[in-house]
Structures are given as structure tokens and as C-alpha cells.
Chain A
Amino acid sequence: MLKQERNERTRAYIFLSIGLIITLYPFVLMVMSSFMTPSQLLNNPSMIIPMPGTLSGYTGLFKDLNVLLLFKNTIIIAGSVTLLNLFFDSLAAFALAKLKFPGKNALFGFMLFTLMIPGVLFFIPTYTMLYHWGWVNHYRALIIPSFVQFYSIFLMKQFMEQIPDEVIEAARIDGASDPVIYSRIIVPMSIPVMATIAILTFMGAWNDFFGPLLYLRSPKMWTVQLGLQMFSSSIPGQNVQVLWAGEVVITLPILIVFLFLQKYFIRAFTNVSFK
């Protein structure tokens, strides 16, 4: 290891640590605010370095907000969306990446185009449709319409194209059918990208606020984002430490999962490109 390289590495560590301040400061603010008393939150001038003082934000979450129920609902929805996407998106991605069938490229190009249409156009016709099917106030209204997502298929396809054709050919010669190739070869070799899609999909469903607002009427079905929003008072100041605590608690699960899966993330995003 050349001395020059070691110096460059040390310098990188220094810069990264400084950069952390900017990157994480808002998050640190959020966490510290969740430990402050209402009086401190309301009356503290400029909050450059907030001082924590109480756990009432967190106890309030469990007592007043029933945060466990909210978590359960959100996990059901986000988990289902993620699992469905993992299965159906990987199938489609495999077909696009490795299988031959007429019309494949046209299909891909057309789907790419749909990314460019603002979601707001779909919003009302979809709501009307789901309402007439009686799906309002059921989890399925949030799960089924999202069961496949083109962005995920796209990412998976890019990754799967890296899988060497020889491996697949060898399996075919051995008589394996496409479904078998999928389960025995493609899936095990695509763990990085599947982990990535799992995170991104789960995160998207977890952070979704407008969907639950429209489709989940009864409070027993609310998700964490919705419940937190509905908990806010018309009076600024009341319950504000519970709200901050809530924001922290909502963000933590995703962060922890990402910490464990982040090396897959990087591998999955390698070689994304437009060819």
C-alpha cells in the first residue's frame, strides 16, 4: 500500500467526518427534540444545540398514540407490497433480461415511457375505481395496485444482465425449464439487487402518507405516518415532543435494516445504465 494512498485515505476520513455534521445535523436535531419538554421546545431560542430533558415524548407515543397498532398495520401493508414486488418484479426482470420473446424490446421501451407521466393523473380515476370495487378501508387498496413497480423491474433487469449466459445455457442443456432456472440460478445470484429492491419498496410503502389518508378511513387501520399526522393538535406546541419522538421512531427501522444490507445496495447499483 503506497504511502500516497494511505495519506489520501486519511484525508478522506477527515473530510467525511466533517461532512457528517451537515448530513446528520437535521437528524440529530430531530432526535434531540424528541427528548425535550414542551416548554423547552416552545421557548428555546434558535436551538443550535438542543438539550434533552425528558422521555415524555416516547411514553406519550405508547400511551396516547397506540403506536404499536400503527406499526402493525404499516408492517402488514409495507411487508405485503415488498414480498409481492420481490416475486413478480424478479420474474418480469428475468424474462426481460434473459429470455427471448417477440415484442420484448418494444414492451420495455413502452413501460419506460410510463415513468414519465405524473402520478397525479392516475390518482382520481384509480380512487374512483377502487371505491366502486369496495376496496376502500381495506389493506388491499394499498397493496394490490402497487404489487408490481416498473422502477424495480428496471433495476433488477440491469443487474440480472450481468449473470453469465454460460451458467444458464449449461442448466438448459441439463434439461432445466425456465421456472427452474429462475429459482435455482437467478434468484440466488440476485440477492444483492433483491435486497435493494426490498429496502426501497419497503421504504416507499412505509413513508407513504397520501395513500393511507385516502384509503384507510377507520382509525384502527391507520399507518404510522397517518396516525402521527392525525395526532397533531391545532394548537402549536401541544404534543409536539410526541410528534418528534414519533418521527424518530418511524425512521429508525429503515435505518437499521439499511445498516445491515448496505453492501448489497452498492453491489446492486453497480452497472446501472442505459444501453
Chain B
Amino acid sequence: MVMKEFVKTLKRSKWGYIFVAPWIVGFLVFSAYPLWLGIKMTFMNYNLVAPQSMKFIGFQNWINGFTDPLFWRSLLNILYNQAIFITLTFFIALLVAYLLFKISNGNKIWGAFFRSAYFVPTITSVVVVMLVLGNITAPYGPIQTLLVKWHILSQPIVWNLVPILIMPVIAVITSWMSFGIQAIILLGGMGTIPTEFTEAARIDGARESTIFWRIIFPLLRPQIVFIMVMNAIGGLQMFTQVYVNFGVTGGPDQAGMTPVLYIYSEGLSKFQMGYSSTLGFILSILIIIATVITLKVLQERS
């Protein structure tokens, strides 16, 4: 009897399974299998270019990973970077989304133009962005030249050489690249807010900032949660910006070293695949923790 019910359920769900099957197959072949190899490697001492010397070493890689000062340094670096990046990008995106929202009732063409214009930084490839913005922020570049002219700086700074400046500058550059997509997400959210709410407040004589912070902002909760979770997942994995700028050494005092850059360098420069995989999994665990914390904090006050 139970069996018959079970079979009936399966039969009814058949299309569900068929539709997700391609994705599952793709996942098994291209993700699960490499992952499984990766997990096995964490228990091995595996020299990438001398695979015959592979040797089982138990938990040694894991112990080394948890006690590796450079790995934790890289985590500190990325947290420093993300603290600045997340705050800066979010508030800029919020402002831009609100402004775009305000003009969305107006001329359609201008609306489309501004929305596209603010999205341009996101479409540009990271390599191009680092190239162009690297030029702009360079000591001889336009920004510093102007700052010197206006006497804000006494002389140009080679920010690439100053450990404490590296992460903030990269955060600002990444911010330029990412605020567009966050703004679009927030804009979408603003579009779903019933106009009655804002109309009512306006009739009551509320000021613009009150309307924004008391009505609009709280209703953006789903979008904010999404953005913050994607920040937690993606931001902690930052790699291309620092790789293009410093190569695998991580810059002066390793101030530009991020966890993924370190994983990359251990595996591909020093050929220590076992250790590199271990660090990768440790990082994944940390990302999961960060995501869970973010979700808990943001969904607390419902």
C-alpha cells in the first residue's frame, strides 16, 4: 500500500525529476567530481607537478591551515576590504536607486538612459576596470594631480606601495564596478512598493527623508538580504583585482593578499595542491558561517 503511494508520487513527480536532471548531471560531472578529488587531496601531500610522490598525511594539512598566519592575515585583509566595500557600495547603490526611482515616472527615454549609464561599470570586464582605474588612481593620474593642485595632498602617493592604503583603494574601485547592479536590484524592490503608502504619507505632509527611511527602506528588506548574502559569498572570494595588481606575492607586507589569492598561489605557484585544497575548504566553511550570520542578523527583526 505504502509502496503503491510512493510509486504514484514518483510518477506524478516525473517531470520534476526530468527537468532537474540535466542540471544534476552537469553538477555531478563538473562540480561534484572535482570536489571529491579536492577533498581527497586535502589528506594528501600532493605536489602538482610530481604526482607520483603523492602521500597520505592525514589531518596535517588541516592543522597547518588553521594555524597558518598568512592565511588568517589574508582573511583580515579581505574583511578590512569588505567592511569598506559593503558599506560604501550599499549606500551609494541605495542613493542611486532612489534617484532612479524618482525619475521613473518621468520621461521614459531619460529613464532608460540613466539606468543604462549607471550600469555601465558593471558590464566592463574586471581586467579592463583595473587597467583604466589603475591609471586614474596612479600618482600621475588625474585624481591625484587634482588633489595636489587643490593642496589636499602635498605630493602624489604611490598607493600600491603603502600597505594600509591598498585594500581601501581596491574597495573603492570594486565599488565603482558593483554599485550598478545593487542599485538595479534595489530599484526593482522600490517598484513593488504600493504607491498608496507613499501617497498617504505625502498627504500627511511628511518630508522626503522621512518617507524614505520610514516607509521605503524597511520594505526593501528582501532585496537587502539578497544583496548582503551575495556580498558575503562573493566578496570573500575576491581574486582578480589583486591578482592583476600584484601577481601572487600579495604586495607590500602581503597587504594585498586575499584568501583566494593565497589558495591560488599555494596550489599553482608552489604546487602544494593538498594544502591549497584544504585552505579552499576552510574558506568555504567560513563563507557558510558568514552567510548564516548575515541571514540571522538581517532576518531577526521581522
What 0/1 pattern do residues 106 to 149 of A give for CB contact below 8 A with B? 01000101111111111011100100000000000000010110
| Smallest beta-carbon distance B250→chain A, Å | 15
Q: Does B140 contact A (CB under 8 A)?
A: yes
Nearest residue, chain B, Cβ from A151: B230
Q: Does A271 contact B (CB under 8 A)?
A: yes
Residue from B9, B141, B288 within 8 A of A46 (CB atoms): B141
Q: Does A71 contact B (CB under 8 A)?
A: no
| A/B interface sample: 10 pairs, CB < 8 A | A9-B105, A13-B106, A88-B23, A91-B22, A250-B128, A269-B189, A271-B188, A271-B189, A272-B188, A274-B226
Chain A residues with CB below 8 A from B70, complex form: none
Interface size on B, residues (CB 8 A): 95
Question: A12 vs B99: C-alpha distance in the bound complex, in angstroms?
Answer: 5
Chain A residues with CB below 8 A from B136, complex form: 25-26, 29
B226→A92 contact, CB < 8 A: no
Chain B residues with CB below 8 A from A25, complex form: 136
A121→B115 contact, CB < 8 A: no
What 0/1 pattern do residues 1 to 40 of B give for CB contact below 8 A with A? 0000000011011011101101110110011011101100
What is the predominant secondary structure among interface residues of chain B facing chain A? helix
A99→B291 contact, CB < 8 A: no
B residues at A contact (CB < 8 Å): 9-10, 12-13, 15-17, 19-20, 22-24, 26-27, 30-31, 33-35, 37-38, 48, 96, 98-100, 102-103, 105-106, 110, 112, 114-121, 123-129, 131-133, 135-136, 140-142, 145-146, 176, 180, 184-185, 187-189, 191-192, 202, 208, 221-223, 225-226, 229, 233, 237, 239, 259-260, 263-264, 267-268, 273, 276-277, 280-281, 283-284, 287-288, 291, 295, 299
A residues at B contact (CB < 8 Å): 2, 4-5, 8-9, 11-13, 15-16, 19-20, 22-27, 29-30, 45-48, 88-89, 91-92, 94-96, 99-102, 104, 107, 111, 113-122, 124-126, 129, 145, 147-148, 150, 153, 177-179, 182, 203, 207, 209, 225, 247, 250-251, 254-255, 258-259, 262-263, 265-274
B280→A254 contact, CB < 8 A: no
A9→B116 contact, CB < 8 A: no
B15→A177 contact, CB < 8 A: yes
Question: A226 vs B49: C-alpha distance in the bound complex, in angstroms?
Answer: 26
Chain B residues with CB below 8 A from A251, complex form: 123-125, 128
Question: A116 vs B288: C-alpha distance in the bound complex, in angstroms?
Answer: 7
Chain B residues with CB below 8 A from A126, complex form: 30, 34
Nearest residue, chain B, Cβ from A125: B34
B38→A121 contact, CB < 8 A: yes
Q: With A48-B146, A102-B13, A258-B116 in contact, is A274–B202 under 8 Å at CB?
A: no
B185→A269 contact, CB < 8 A: yes
A23→B117 contact, CB < 8 A: yes
B20→A95 contact, CB < 8 A: yes
10 A-B pairs closest in CB distance: A273-B222, A101-B13, A178-B15, A101-B16, A125-B34, A12-B102, A270-B188, A207-B125, A99-B16, A95-B19
B116→A262 contact, CB < 8 A: yes
A148→B124 contact, CB < 8 A: no
| Smallest beta-carbon distance B218→chain A, Å | 14
A47→B142 contact, CB < 8 A: yes
Chain B residues with CB below 8 A from A255, complex form: 116, 120, 123
| Smallest beta-carbon distance B179→chain A, Å | 9
Chain B residues with CB below 8 A from A148, complex form: 22-23, 26-27
